[in-house]
Each structure stands twice: as structure tokens, then as C-alpha cells.
Amino acid sequence: MGRFLAYLEHAAPLASGFGSRFSRLDPAKQDEVLSSVEASQSELLRAGFEGIKSLVFMGYYRDARTWRAVGYDGPWVGRPADGWQ
């Protein structure tokens, strides 16, 4: 995973024609880089993308603030009387 992150930061932007590291690109260009990795010919790069995606969504969708946005009412265990905020 560390090696994939290094690839994403340094090599993937070059492969998409950008001369800057990933974290310094604007969001639209970052999306372009991610899209090209997601649809890469390389099974390893695609798997790396899925790994990162899993980690990010694990963090994002564990949060009650996200649950509300997608209409999920959350766990019953420990649910506050007025629902998860």
C-alpha cells in the first residue's frame, strides 16, 4: 500500500500528463488522475485503487454525519433518542 501511495503521489500524475505531485494538483486534475488509475490496464494498479478507495470510504462512511446524507439511520445499539447526528 505504501508503494502504491508513492506511485499515486509521484508517478500517476506524470502518466496523466501533469508535471506536479498529486497532492499539489487542483481537485479536478486529481480526479482525472484517479480516474485513469481506476481504469488502468494494470490489474495491480486497479487493485491498489480499490484498496485506497476501501480505506477512504471506511473512514467516511463510519461517520454518522455521512449516514444522514445517504438516508441511513445507523446502528440500533447506542442510538440516541433523536437519532444519529
Partner 1 sequence: MLRELARAGLDAVALEAGAHLTSQDFDQREDRMLAELYQDAGARTTEDLAIRVLQGRGVGGSTVHNTNLCKRTPDEILELWSRKYGIADVRPSDLRAAFETIERDLSVSEMEPALRNANNEILRAGCEALGWRGGPLHHNRIGCVQSGFCELGCSYDAKQNAVKVLLPQAVRAGARVYSDVEAVGIVHDGRAVAGVRGVARGADGQPRAAVEVRARIVVLAASAVGSAALARRSGVPDPHGTLGRGLRMHPGAVVVGRFDQRVYGWRGIPQSYECTELLSHEEGSDKRVWIVTAFAHPIGAAVTVPGFGASHMAAMRSYPNLAVLTAMVHDETSGEVLLDADERPVIRYKMVERDRAQLAIGLAACARLLFAAGAQEVTIPAVAPVRLANARALEAVDLSVVRPHSVPLTAVHPMGSMCMGQDPRASVVRSTGEHHQLRGLFVADGSLFPTSIGVPPQISIYAFALHLARHAIERARAS
Unique residue bearing C-alpha cell 480526479: 31
CA distance 46 to 60: 21
Using alpha carbons only, how large is the chain's radius of gyration in Å?
17
**In the chain, what's the furthest Cα-to-Cα distance?**
52
Least distance to partner 1, CB of residue 53, Å: 6
Residue placing its CB nearer to partner 1 in the complex, 26 or 50: 50
Residue placing its CB nearer to partner 1 in the complex, 9 or 72: 72
Residues found near partner 1 in the complex (CB under 8 A)? 31, 34, 38-39, 43-44, 46-47, 50, 53-54, 56-58, 60-62, 66-67, 69-72, 75-78
